[in-house]
Amino acid sequence: MAIKESELIINPDGSVYHLNLKPEHIADTIITVGDQNRVDRVAHFFDDVIFETQKREFKTKTGFYKGKKLTVISSGIGTDNIDIVLNELDALANIDFKTRTIKKKIKQLQIVRIGTSGSLQKDVPVDNYVASTSGVGFDGLLHYYAHKADVVNQATTQALIQHLQDSPKKAEPYVVDANSSLLQKFKLSNEKLLNFGLTGTNVGFYGPQGRVLRLPLSKPNFIDSLASFEFEKQKITNLEMETSAIYALAKMLGHQALSVNAIIANRAMGTFSKQPKDLVDNLIQFVLQILTED
Ligand SMILES: O=P(O)(O)O[C@H]1O[C@H](CO)[C@@H](O)[C@H]1O
Ligand SMILES: O=c1cc[nH]c(=O)[nH]1
């Protein structure tokens, strides 16, 4: 059955509604970044760029790095944007835009987020990197999709819900694991450079991440509770705003996803990196190197 024009919106030039991309514009390996300027900083390392476009916060460059075709795209901030980016990337890969039908053979994309994040743990100070073994979602996005039970890491999710005892007014937390083969690839490459931990994703930078400027919090000990959670020797290392939704949508759609974040803030110590740009640039080069190793 053809997907209606109101559901899959295709621009007059044949590109998908928000991302402004046509199916032939994307590589099978896709780097997502929050910040539009970071797209140039990734593509700066490419040997050549064969396509670029931008609409709103969604800026894309596709090119080659050491012979491998890569796409880098900015998502902007937040899981609401991730809903758009992941669904439209999947549509580009797996829906025939002419017939508006799902292709018989589903393509698996490899999606790697290069982000920035705040650490919750004193032993993961600023200027470190964290590869997210799981995304811990406080955003509620997953709950809008019908999904198989095994999309969610049920044991960690239940342990966290018990630990937090949070208000029923908030979305129920969910935990989704990273793609195991991508995670393994990063583990084998240079374990010393990376920390591995659970990454919390929430719907804001201030209150939802326990920051107080002028507004007091409904649950002042929220990030302390996150920091003290431990299950099967794993802790919530860091907080940001996209990983859980990337992991959840990628898993439901059958894609591989991994999120790697530069730690620019440490919430337990109240510190902020003096060199966030260099920190992210080094992470970009590290990720590019791993993605081109076979
Ligand atoms: O640097 P990016 O990738 O945008 O990631 C982090 O930075 C933004 C907040 O400043 C949020 O998007 C958060 O997830
Ligand atoms: O603390 C931080 C730092 C970067 N991005 C976030 O979302 N939180």
Q: Is the pLDDT of residue 49 over 90?
A: yes
Of the chain, the percentage scoring pLDDT greater than 70 comes to 99
Residue nearest to ligand 2 atom 1, measured at CA? 118
Q: Is the pLDDT of residue 191 over 90?
A: no
Residues 112-148 have pLDDT tens digits of: 999 999 999 999 999 999 999 999 999 999 999 999 9
Q: Which of 36, 58, 77 to mutate to test the pocket of ligand 1 (most atoms within 8 A of CB)?
A: 77
The answer to whether position 9 is within a domain reads no
Report the 10 Å Cβ neighbour count for 269.
12
Q: What's the domain range around 159?
A: 23-291
pTM of the entire predicted model = 0.98
The answer to whether position 5 is within a domain reads no
Q: Domain of 66: which CATH number?
A: 3.40.50.1580
Residue nearest to ligand 2 atom 7, measured at CA? 240
What is the Å distance from ligand 1's center to 240 Cα? 6
**For the chain, how many structural domains are there in total?**
1
Residues 144-161 have pLDDT tens digits of: 999 999 999 999 999 999
Long-range contacts from 46-55, C-beta under 8 angstroms, 24+ separation: 46/70, 51/25, 53/15, 53/20, 53/21, 53/25, 54/20, 55/18, 55/19, 55/20
**Any bridge partners for residue 63, and if so which?**
49, 70
Q: What is the pLDDT of residue 199?
A: 99
Q: Rounded mean pLDDT of 202-226? A: 98
Q: What is the pLDDT of residue 294?
A: 73
Q: What is the pLDDT of residue 189?
A: 84
Q: List residues near ligand 1 (CB under 6 A).
A: 33-35, 77, 115-116, 205, 240-242
The answer to whether position 94 is within a domain reads yes
The answer to whether position 201 is within a domain reads yes
Length of the chain: 294
On average, the pLDDT of the chain sits at: 97
The answer to whether position 66 is within a domain reads yes
Q: Higher pLDDT residue, 1 or 133? A: 133
The answer to whether position 55 is within a domain reads yes
Supply the ipTM of this predicted assembly: 0.99
Q: Rounded mean pLDDT of 185-197? A: 88
Pairing of strands 29-33, 110-119: parallel
Q: Which of 264, 269, 280, 283 to mutate to test the pocket of ligand 2 (most atoms within 8 A of CB)?
A: 264
Q: What is the pLDDT of residue 101?
A: 98
Q: Rounded mean pLDDT of 61-79? A: 98
Across 58-62, 100-104, 123-127, 192-196, least confident range: 192-196
